[in-house]
């Protein structure tokens, strides 16, 4: 039996592909900036995520946006053991707890 979807490793992300995350729609009641940052964090490699943050801030995004539990993407990243590069990118661009 063949797998439905193969795992893609080291996929190349163009600037246009990274920029697409600026248009990710949030569900009603969810802060759009938080949602975009979280989706980018969950989907991108650290270098691509840092590129996204620059685009996100240039577009007027709030790097300290929070979810309904008042948690930022930085607070979630700090709970993950392999997220040092993501944390550094967020903090470099002004994220704080």
The encoded tokens of residue 88 equal 């550094």
Share of the chain above pLDDT 90, in %: 74
What integer pLDDT is reported at residue 7 of this predicted model?
46
Domain residue limits at 73: 28-92
What integer pLDDT is reported at residue 53 of this predicted model?
97
The angle, 0 to 180 degrees and rounded to 10, between the axes of the packed helices 46-58 and 32-43 is: 160
- Identify which has the larger pLDDT, 9 or 64: 64
CA atoms within 13 A on the CB side of 8: 8
Q: Per the domain annotation, does 6 fall within a domain?
A: no
What integer pLDDT is reported at residue 9 of this predicted model?
53
Q: Per the domain annotation, does 43 fall within a domain?
A: yes
Given a cut of 80, whether residue 23 has pLDDT beyond it is yes
pLDDT digits (tens, 9 = 90+) for 25-34: 988 889 999 9
Nearest to 77 by CA among 38, 48, 44: 38
Length reported for the chain = 97
The H-assigned helical ranges of 1-97 are 15-19, 32-43, 46-58, 73-77, 84-92
Q: Per the domain annotation, does 2 fall within a domain?
A: no
Q: Per the domain annotation, does 36 fall within a domain?
A: yes
What integer pLDDT is reported at residue 8 of this predicted model?
47
């Amino acid at each position: 039996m063949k797998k439905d979807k193969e795992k893609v490793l080291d996929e190349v992300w163009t600037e246009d592909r990274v920029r697409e995350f600026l248009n990710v729609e949030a569900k009603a009641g969810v802060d759009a900036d938080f949602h975009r940052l979280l989706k980018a964090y969950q989907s991108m490699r650290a270098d691509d995520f840092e590129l996204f943050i620059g685009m996100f801030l240039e577009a007027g995004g709030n790097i300290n946006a929070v979810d309904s539990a008042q948690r930022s993407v930085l607070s979630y990243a700090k709970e993950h053991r392999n997220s040092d590069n993501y944390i550094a990118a967020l903090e470099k661009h002004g994220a704080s707890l």
